[in-house]
């Protein structure tokens, strides 16, 4: 694996807490003396957040597709409609 990817792996270990505490402390020290590493770590954190948000958007689309398909089934639609037509 090339050096830049190895560095990404190390940053991931720190950010996703895959490494032991002592290694994590060493990584934090490296960030203090190396602003570029600190910046890359910050960008990588943002990348995880973007992936997480995009995953959630995609999941919501999947749920909407399932919801649409189940409400096309007459028996299910009637069952639910009846709930909202009835008095409390």
Partner 1 sequence: MSDNTNDLPNRQQLFLNLYQEVFPIAAKFIRKQGGNLEEAKDVFQDALIVYYERVVVGSGKRLNVDSNQGYLLAVTRNLWYKRVNEHRNFESLSKANEVKSEGQETHLSSMKLLSILETSGRKCLEILQSFYYHKVSMTDLASQFGFASRRSATVQKYKCLEKVRDQLKDKNITYEDFFERN
Binding site for partner 1 (CB under 8 A): 1, 4-5, 8-9, 12, 39-40, 43-44, 46-60, 62-67, 69-70, 76, 79-81, 83-84, 86, 88
Tokens of 11: 């940053």
The least distance separating partner 1 from the CB of residue 11, rounded to whole angstroms, comes to 9
Q: What is the DSSP letter of 86?
A: S
Compute the distance between CA of residue 25 and CA of residue 57 in angstroms, rounded to an integer.
35
- Would you say 25 or 42 has its CB closer to partner 1? 42
Q: How far is the CB of 48 from partner 1 (least distance, A)?
A: 6
The tokens of 86 are what? Answer: 């009835």
How far apart, in Å, do the first and last CA atoms of the chain sit? 64
């Amino acid at each position: 694996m090339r050096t830049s990817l190895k560095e990404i792996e190390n940053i991931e270990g720190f950010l996703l807490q895959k490494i032991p505490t002592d290694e994590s402390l060493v990584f934090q020290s490296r960030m203090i003396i190396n602003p570029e590493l600190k910046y890359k770590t910050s960008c990588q954190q943002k990348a995880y957040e973007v992936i997480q948000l995009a995953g959630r958007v995609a999941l919501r689309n999947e749920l909407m597709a399932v919801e649409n398909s189940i409400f096309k089934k007459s028996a299910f639609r009637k069952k639910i409609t009846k709930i909202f037509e009835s008095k409390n």
